[in-house]
Amino acid sequence: MRVTIAPRQLGGSIKAIASKSEAHRLLICAALARGETEIACGQLSADINATADCLRALGADIDYSGGVFRVKPLDGGVRGAVLDVGESGSTLRFLLPVACALGAECKIKMHGRLPARPLSPLWEELEAHGAVLTRPEPDVISVSGTLTAGDYTLAANVSSQFISGLLFALPLLGRDSRIVLTGDIESAGYIDMTVRALRRFGSDCELCGRTFAVKGGRPLRSPKTAEVEGDWSNAAFWLTAGAISQNNIVVEGLTADSPQGDRAAAAALAEIRRGGAVIDARDIPDLVPVLSVAAAVSPGTTEFTGAARLRIKESDRLAATAAMLTALGGDAEERPDGLIVRGKPALAGGTVSSCNDHRIAMSAAVASIACTGSVTVDGAEAVGKSYPAFWDDFESLGGCITREE
Nearest to 44, CA basis, from 384, 376, 311, 398 = 384
Please give the backbone phi and psi of residue 192, each rounded to the nearest 5 degrees, phi first: -60, -40
Taking the CB of residue 43, how many other CB atoms lie within 10 A of it? 20
Instruction: Decide if 46 contacts 381 (C-beta within 8 A).
Output: no
Torsion of CA 330, 302, 156, 197, to 10 degrees: -80
Per residue in 243-266, is it b (16+ CB within 10 Å) or e — as a string? bbbeeebebeebeeebbbbbbbbb
> What's the burial of 209, exposed, middle or buried (CB within 10 Å: 0-12/13-18/19+)?
exposed
User: Annotated catalytic residue: which of 286, 316, 392, 393?
Assistant: 286
User: Alpha helix locations (H) across 33-184?
Assistant: 46-57, 89-102, 122-128, 160-169
Residues facing residue 60 across a β-bridge: none
Spatial distance between the Cα atoms of 312 and 335, rounded to a whole number of angstroms: 15
286 is catalytic: yes
Q: How crowded is residue 210: how many other Cβ atoms within 10 Å of its Cβ?
A: 12
Taking the C-alpha atoms of 301, 305, 308 and 312 in order, what is their torsion angle to the nearest 10 degrees? Answer: -60
Contacts of 56 (CB under 8 A, 6+ apart): 62
Closest among 271, 363, 380, 267 to 323, alpha carbons compared? 363
What are phi and psi for residue 282, nearest 5 degrees? -60, -35
How far apart CA 360 and CA 356 sit, in angstroms, is 8
Taking the C-alpha atoms of residue 310 and residue 111, their distance in angstroms, rounded to an integer, is 18
Catalytic positions: 286
